[in-house]
Amino acid sequence: MNFEWQVISNNFFFLMGGLVTTFELALIAIAGGLTLGILVGMGRLSKFKFIYYPATLFVNLMRTQPLILVIFWFYFLVPLIIGRPIGGFTSAVIAFTIFEASYFAEIIRAGIQSISKGQMEAAYSSGFTYWQAMRYFIIPQALKNMMPSLITQAVVVFQDTSLAYVIGLREFLRSANIVDAREMRSVELYLFVGLVYFIVCFSMSRICKKLELKKGYA
Amino acid sequence: MIEIINVSKWFGELKVLDNVKETINKGQVVVICGPSGSGKSTLLKSLNGLEPFQEGDIRVDGISLNDPKTNFIKLRQKMGMVFQRFELYPHMKVIENITIAPTKVLNQSKSQAGKKAMELLERVGIPEQADKYPGNLSGGQQQRVAIARALAMEPDIMLFDEPTSALDPEMIKEVLDVMVDLAQSGMTMAVVTHEMGFAKEVADEIIFMDEGRIIERGTDKSFFENPESERLKEFLRKILI
Ligand SMILES: Nc1ncnc2c1ncn2[C@@H]1O[C@H](COP(=O)(O)OP(=O)(O)OP(=O)(O)O)[C@@H](O)[C@H]1O
Ligand SMILES: [Mg+2]
């Protein structure tokens, strides 16, 4: 068979527009999911039942649902609840943030639990509050331990965003899809898409390896 | 300064403190010893509210730990604690380990806290280690940093939980020397330790715990020369060989 790679260069800006959307979606989902995940992960360790139970319910609910279903939920449900349509991008951002938060939360929970109880006791006995102790001692150390898992999860989020094409969001995969419908060049287009995903994800996991090697304290 | 009034504590079914009574006066050094699991750490941690208890009361400078209005955060600022496994903050340099509480809790300026920290490092004999990370120090050096960290808050009381039992023999002395120095400077101290040399040198009172109870108490002379209970005799035989 003969390849016609011009399909890539002819539609380069269109495809890159999709890639930008993919990056935007992934970055917001990672930042939002991580922030929410830190709170939920701490909630999973709370001794207060009214914090622990909702956090645990949230994590278990999200982690038992297929992501594609969660994307549909937010796409169809949120407009019903707030009474007006919200674009595909916004609904995807909300769906990914909430879904990925449950995975980040479990990484954070394990990371915090990996820090010995004595660190908290040391902080308390110097007169720190719980929140100060978390902020200055527990979370910085936990984050360092968790970095490899967090990056792995970030790579997964980046890949997961391709699922947003089911609600018509013009992210990277969807853009290739649209070009393909017009130009009938599936092989070239999907090979290109695969290559770009490979480059991005492979570089992220290399960074992860490097961090793992440097894990000991200076 | 510290009054422990009939304190009992349970972990579930297990009674770990059984009607403990003790008074520690200002400037006194009280050594607590006893077999593993006898409740020494639990007692020490209940003094600064790290471990809650179910019965009795503890008063620090007249402030009751049972009083719901008691501010534990404030209370702990006046009570330094040193742990068996040091518990330095591994992601911070030695100097930051010492300055973080004074700057973040007491709002001292960085330069003021830094100057004080260097004085304390001089006092414990390791000013040259200020810019290293705790992981690069020996156990004895780490424990001396931990003592300096506690002293940086200018506490009225120091609590030590087996400060030398995680150390190699050749490092025990360097830590004990710092503690003896501290005791002689008039610090009020509660020290869980099996270092009987230390007890003889500076303890005003020694108490022996077993199964959550104080079985025997005395000055170093009575304690070592005329132990009354069989338990203590047996314990002393084991640790003095
Ligand atoms: N968090 C906990 N939950 C349940 N039981 C505990 C807990 N902490 C301690 N215990 C139990 O309470 C008892 C007293 O423990 P504690 O640590 O005070 O003893 P200790 O005298 O300090 O012993 P050691 O010399 O080994 O440090 C032990 O039986 C211990 O197993
Ligand atoms: Mg103990």
Complex ipTM above 0.90? Answer: yes
Q: Residues A141, A135: contact at Cβ < 8 Å?
A: no
Q: Which amino acid would we find at residue A204?
A: M
Average pLDDT over residues B210-218: 92
Percent of chain B with pLDDT over 70: 100
- Rounded Cα distance, A93 and A33, in Å: 10
Look at residue A151 and tell me whether its pLDDT is greater than 50: yes
Distances in whole angstroms, Cα of residue A165 to Cα of each of A71, A101, A127, A209, B81: 10, 21, 51, 31, 57
What tokens were used for A168? 């018509």
| E runs forming strands in A38-170 | none
Please indicate whether residue B39, judged by its CB atom, sits closer than 6 Å to ligand 1: yes
* Residue-level pLDDT at A63: 94
Please state the pTM of the whole predicted model. 0.84
- Rounded Cα distance, A34 and A103, in Å: 9
The number of angstroms, rounded, from the C-alpha of B61 to the middle of its chain's C-alpha atoms is 17
Please indicate whether residue B44, judged by its CB atom, sits closer than 6 Å to ligand 1: no
* Residue-level pLDDT at B153: 96
Q: Residues B94, B131: contact at Cβ < 8 Å?
A: yes
Interface residue B91 vs chain A (CB under 8 A): yes
Rg (CA), chain A: 21
CATH topology of domain A23-170: MetI-like fold (1.10.3720)
Coil, helix or strand at residue B15: strand
Number of other residues whose CB lies within 10 A of the CB of residue A107: 22
Q: Residues B43, B17: contact at Cβ < 8 Å?
A: yes
Q: Tell me the pLDDT band of A217, cut-offs 50, 70 and 90.
A: very low
Look at residue B240 and tell me whether its pLDDT is greater than 80: no
Average pLDDT over residues B157-165: 96
* Residue-level pLDDT at B204: 94
Look over chain B and give the mean of its residue pLDDT values, rounded to a whole number.
94
Look at residue B43 and tell me whether its pLDDT is greater than 80: yes
Q: Which amino acid would we find at residue B63?
A: I
Q: Sheet harboring B188-192: ordered strands across?
A: B79-82, B157-161, B188-192, B29-33, B205-210, B213-218
Look at residue A218 and tell me whether its pLDDT is greater than 80: no
* Residue-level pLDDT at A214: 67
Contact A217 B74 (CB under 8 A): no
| Interface mutation target, options B42, B105, B142, B147, chain A, most CBs of A under 10 Å | B105
Distance (Å) from CA B227 to ligand 1 centroid = 25
Contact B73 A129 (CB under 8 A): yes
Residue A126 region, left (φ>0) first, then alpha (ψ -120 to 50), else beta?
alpha
Q: Give backbone dihedrals phi and psi of B187, rounded to 5 degrees, phi first.
A: -65, 140
| E runs forming strands in chain B | 2-11, 14-24, 29-33, 55-60, 63-64, 79-82, 157-161, 188-192, 205-210, 213-218
Q: Tell me the pLDDT band of A175, cut-offs 50, 70 and 90.
A: very high
Look over chain A and give the mean of its residue pLDDT values, rounded to a whole number.
91
Q: Which amino acid would we find at residue B28?
A: Q
Distance (Å) from CA B105 to ligand 2 centroid = 27
- Rounded Cα distance, A119 and A201, in Å: 35
The pLDDT tens digits of the residues spanning B47-90 come to 999 999 999 999 999 999 999 999 999 999 999 999 999 999 99
Please indicate whether residue B11, judged by its CB atom, sits closer than 6 Å to ligand 1: yes
The pLDDT tens digits of the residues spanning B170-203 come to 899 999 999 999 999 999 999 999 998 999 999 9
The pLDDT tens digits of the residues spanning A37-81 come to 999 999 999 999 999 999 999 999 999 999 999 999 899 888 888
Average pLDDT over residues B113-137: 96
- Rounded Cα distance, B58 and B42, in Å: 13
Please indicate whether residue B193, judged by its CB atom, sits closer than 6 Å to ligand 1: no
* DSSP notation for A32-53: HHHHHHHHHHHHTT-S-HHHHH
Distances in whole angstroms, Cα of residue A27 to Cα of each of A37, A161, A194: 15, 10, 20
The pLDDT tens digits of the residues spanning A105-142 come to 999 999 999 999 999 999 999 999 999 999 999 999 99
Find the helix or strand (DSSP H, E) in which A203 lies: helix A186-213
CB neighbours of A192 closer than 8 A, spacing ≥ 6?
A: A8, A15, A176
Contact A129 B149 (CB under 8 A): no
Q: Residues B83, A122: contact at Cβ < 8 Å?
A: yes
Look at residue B101 and tell me whether its pLDDT is greater than 80: yes
Coil, helix or strand at residue A68: helix
Residue ranges of the domains in chain A? 23-170
- Rounded Cα distance, B39 and B15, in Å: 9
